[in-house]
Structure 1
Amino acid sequence: MRFNSKKDFWIGLLVWLVIGGGFIGTIFSGQWAIILVMLLTLLFFAWIWFGTYYVITNEILIVRTGPFKWSIKIKEIKTIKKTRSPLSSAALSLDRIEIKYSKYGYTLISPIEVEAFTEELKKINPNIQVKV
């Protein structure tokens, strides 16, 4: 089952204004190498913005953000709790959940439907402690 990432308006506005504005500014510079670098940067952030989601399979939680992908064994998930941590993560919103797994592993994600997401995980691993 696929869950899309929640996206904060202000994060999108900030990222798109800075990168889009930088790209438009470089077009007027006429320097093709810089234009190419800015275009690639714009495409990279578009890939992250539109390609951040989470997939729950029978045994694995797949966290995808653009070209990056993590796999977490659902049976190893210990806790899920709400957080507003601004740490870099596969989340496009500050309305996040922290998933702790294995001995020291954790990730921050921001599914739109947090309750449905946690229910699906608990169907596979009922031992998960949810503090949402």
Structure 2
Amino acid sequence: MEHERFWSKRDIWYEILVLFAISTASAAVLMVPEEERLVVILLTLPVWAFMASLWFFTWYELKEDHLYARSGPFVERIPYDRIRSIRESRNMWSSMALSRDRIEIRQHDKGFVTGTTYISPLDKQRFMELLKSRCNNLQE
């Protein structure tokens, strides 16, 4: 079984949020006196790094026996046998998605909060077809 990577779809609102966070952090660096600039750079560097990691490192891979979801520094591995349902969603819950055009994945034996993952693959329909074909315990 091949491993295929699907990049996250990105909504314009998310692009604006990332640019705003980076611009605000950059403006803070430029607004302080020069002798304090190094301290401000060191304080804002984590903001830049975090936002850049979300932007450049959000993807989903269909591995041999599990779905691997990565969003910046956050990683989740969901075994196919634990997946209970897969459906389209447009909610705004905190997630590993960069778009409102999402897929909701629910797991067996877990509650709503800890057992629900939202992702937003660019090719959503193809991703859903491939994921469903690997999940033997769907209850849809």
Please tell me whether residue 101 in structure 1 is matched to residue 107 in structure 2: yes
Counterpart of 1:86 in structure 2: which amino acid?
Answer: M
Q: 1:3 aligns with which of 2, 6, 12?
A: 6
Q: Which amino acid aligns with 2:72?
A: G
CA contact (8 A) 1:78 1:102 kept: yes
SS in 2 for 1:6: coil
Supply the RMSD in Å over aligned alpha carbons.
Answer: 1.6
Aligned-pair CA distance for 1:114: 1.1
Structure 1, unaligned runs of 5 or more: none
Give the deviation of 1:110 after TM superposition. Answer: 0.5
Contact 2:96 2:119 in 1 (8 A): yes
Residue 63 of structure 1 corresponds to which residue in structure 2? 69
Does the CA contact (< 8 Å) of 1:58 and 1:124 recur in 2? no
- SS state at 2:61 partner: strand
- Give the deviation of 1:28 after TM superposition: 3.0
Larger radius of gyration: 2
For 1:18 and 1:124, how far apart are their aligned partners in 2? 38
- Count, aligned residues: 130
Secondary structure at the aligned position of 1:86 is classed as coil
Aligned match of 1:22: 25
Letter in 2 for 1:17: F
Is 1:111 equivalent to 2:121 in the alignment?
yes
Name which of 117, 120, 129 aligns with 2:130. 120
CA deviations 1:29-51 (Å, max 9, x no partner) are 13221222212211211011110
TM-score, reference length from structure 2: 0.84
TM-score (norm 1): 0.88
Identity in percent: 37
* Structure 2 Cα separation of the partners of residues 70 and 17 of structure 1: 27
Rounded Cα–Cα distance in structure 1 between residues aligned with 2:45 and 2:14:
20
